[in-house]
């Protein structure tokens, strides 16, 4: 699927030729209702943050061929299809700065079926879009969770679109929700599994973490038994392994407001550890707001590691616990109670960095939870500079996997994840 807006978020990038940045590119969806011969294209004006290039300047790449406007006007056999974006390349030595830009275009198309005085039609569009800088070769690895695209997945975004978006930012890891992103879960068709591996290869992505749920209240009249819970986790371990994942996060049902997992959790994990070892998958329970690091829940998981001596059970940190400001965006399925401003997990828990440093040796994976990054690449809630510094000081080199959880407006997750990657890489390059 193409993005609905004429200016596509995906594909906005600087162009490097012979090691030098010579300009930038953006992808445009055909703004008319029909595709057209390239010769009917009559240029595109581009404006970035007030700097403009006139309609004759940008180069056009259509169906794998690149043209000046004059070449395109004289062309035959090349089309701007309704289902294929055009790539527009604008010369600008040094390119655009990493970060958010205000982009405006005016696309000119000649439409011979309109009266002559209207036949040269202009289609205008404007949007904010983000240039993501390349990542440093060392240190944390960058990925994204499909959770970020909730609402967009299966409505305006296919699995391949999500993978293309992640790769387009230069990220290399993909995290999925087993019960969300696998058609036919828990028994996907072999053809889908083949397609999954094909897409990983096509977009050079690594399968990182597989989200799993152990639903203790699966039935209303009785609790899930440890045996049933273990069956669920073992099913997900096997499925994750077939799909190439190296960790599985079981989200255990909880019994208290501070997310104490149902007591079956230890037995569920114990019954699954041998399989995890065989498959070399790390089981990672999630430390999630409102539960901090210094808390019996986290302590319980660390005790389990100590007691069993396993290397296949570690922690997953959701960076929502480091929130320094409250989040008041709505959260699907959560209604704020009378007398409360917001649910507890959206209050700023502000876990100190020293707590993170203490447990980092036991942290396998980080969900880079966030809610909003503004036009100046400032995160309004999560202190990324502190987090990246803490990770760098510990030489932590696991996955930082974007987990956007802000407003679920269409396309917002995609745009925000790009911003987060730009922000994180900017910070990383300064360390």
Catalytic residues: 288
399-404 and 65-67: which strand pairing? unpaired
Residue 285 backbone zone (phi > 0: left; psi -120 to 50: alpha; other: beta): beta
Of 54, 68, 81, 102, which one interacts with a copy of itself (CB under 8 A)?
81
Nearest to a copy of itself of 330, 348 (CB atom): 330
For 363, the 3-state DSSP assignment is: strand
Task: Provide the minimum distance between the beta carbon of 284 and a copy of itself in the complex, in angstroms, as a whole number.
Answer: 14
Q: Is 112 in the site for a copy of itself (CB under 8 A)?
A: yes
Bridge partners, 16 (sequence order): 21
Query: How far lies 285's CA from each of 40, 133, 411, in Å?
Result: 57, 32, 29
Of 49, 51, 74, 294, which one interacts with a copy of itself (CB under 8 A)?
74
86-91 and 20-28: which strand pairing? antiparallel
Of 256, 341, 354, 397, which one interacts with a copy of itself (CB under 8 A)?
256
Nearest to a copy of itself of 52, 155 (CB atom): 155
169 CB-contact burial (10 Å; exposed 0-12 / middle 13-18 / buried 19+): buried
Nearest to a copy of itself of 310, 367 (CB atom): 367
Q: Is 73 in the site for a copy of itself (CB under 8 A)?
A: yes
Q: Is 52 in the site for a copy of itself (CB under 8 A)?
A: no
How many residues bind a copy of itself (CB under 8 A)? The answer is: 74
Nearest to a copy of itself of 141, 408 (CB atom): 408
Q: Is 35 in the site for a copy of itself (CB under 8 A)?
A: yes
Residues 203-222 that bind a copy of itself (CB under 8 A): 211, 213, 215-220
Task: Provide the minimum distance between the beta carbon of 277 and a copy of itself in the complex, in angstroms, as a whole number.
Answer: 26
353 CB-contact burial (10 Å; exposed 0-12 / middle 13-18 / buried 19+): middle
How far is residue 106's CA from residue 123's CA, in Å, rounded to a whole number? 5
Task: Provide the minimum distance between the beta carbon of 23 and a copy of itself in the complex, in angstroms, as a whole number.
Answer: 26
Q: Is 36 in the site for a copy of itself (CB under 8 A)?
A: yes
Are 232 and 212 within 8 A, CB to CB? Answer: yes
Q: Is 333 in the site for a copy of itself (CB under 8 A)?
A: yes
Helices (H), 246-295: 265-279
Candidates 17-25, 136-144, 299-307, 329-337 — which segment interacts with a copy of itself by CB under 8 A? 329-337
Residue 411 backbone zone (phi > 0: left; psi -120 to 50: alpha; other: beta): left
Task: Provide the minimum distance between the beta carbon of 146 and a copy of itself in the complex, in angstroms, as a whole number.
Answer: 9
Residues 148-187 that bind a copy of itself (CB under 8 A): 150-151, 153-156, 158, 177, 179-181, 183-185
Q: Is 338 in the site for a copy of itself (CB under 8 A)?
A: no
Per-residue b/e over 231-261, b at no fewer than 16 CB within 10 Å? bbbbbbbebbbebbbbbbbbbbbbeeeebbb
């Amino acid at each position: 699927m193409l993005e609905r807006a004429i200016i596509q978020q995906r594909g906005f990038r600087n162009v490097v030729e012979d090691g030098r940045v010579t300009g930038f590119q953006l992808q445009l969806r055909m703004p008319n209702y029909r595709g057209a011969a390239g010769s009917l294209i009559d240029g595109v004006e581009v404006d970035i943050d007030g700097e403009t290039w006139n309609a004759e300047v940008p180069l056009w790449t259509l169906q794998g061929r690149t043209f000046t406007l004059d070449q395109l006007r004289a062309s035959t056999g090349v089309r701007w299809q309704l289902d294929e974006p055009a790539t527009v390349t604008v010369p600008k030595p040094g390119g655009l700065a990493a970060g958010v830009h205000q982009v405006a275009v005016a696309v000119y198309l000649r439409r011979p079926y309109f009266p002559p005085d209207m036949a040269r039609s202009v289609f205008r569009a404007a949007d904010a879009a983000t240039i993501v800088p390349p990542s440093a070769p060392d240190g944390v690895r960058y990925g994204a969770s499909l959770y970020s695209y909730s609402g967009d997945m299966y409505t305006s975004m296919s699995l391949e679109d999500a993978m293309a978006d992640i790769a387009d930012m230069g990220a290399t890891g993909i995290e999925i929700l087993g019960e969300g992103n696998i058609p036919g879960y828990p028994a996907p068709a072999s053809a889908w599994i083949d397609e999954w591996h094909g897409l990983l290869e096509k977009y050079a992505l690594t399968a990182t973490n597989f989200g799993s749920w152990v639903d203790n209240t699966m039935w209303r009249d009785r609790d899930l038994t440890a045996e049933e819970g273990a069956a669920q986790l073992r099913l997900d371990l096997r499925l994750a392994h077939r799909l190439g994942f190296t960790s599985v996060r079981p989200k255990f049902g909880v019994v208290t407001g501070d997310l104490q997992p149902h007591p079956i959790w230890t037995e569920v994990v114990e019954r699954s550890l041998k399989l995890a070892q065989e498959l070399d998958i790390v089981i990672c329970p999630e430390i999630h707001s409102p539960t901090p690091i210094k808390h019996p829940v986290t302590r319980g998981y660390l005790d389990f590691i100590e007691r069993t001596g396993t290397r296949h059970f570690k922690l997953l940190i959701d960076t929502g616990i480091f929130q320094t400001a409250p989040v008041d965006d709505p959260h699907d399925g959560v209604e704020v109670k009378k007398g409360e401003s917001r649910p507890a997990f959206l209050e700023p828990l502000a876990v100190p960095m020293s707590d993170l440093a203490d447990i980092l040796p036991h942290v396998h994976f980080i969900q880079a939870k966030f809610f909003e990054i503004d036009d100046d690449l400032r995160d309004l809630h999560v202190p990324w500079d502190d987090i990246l510094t803490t990770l760098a000081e510990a030489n932590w080199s696991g996955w930082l996997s974007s987990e956007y959880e802000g407003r679920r407006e269409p396309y917002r997750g995609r745009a925000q994840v790009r911003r987060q990657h730009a922000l994180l890489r900017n910070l990383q390059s300064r360390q």
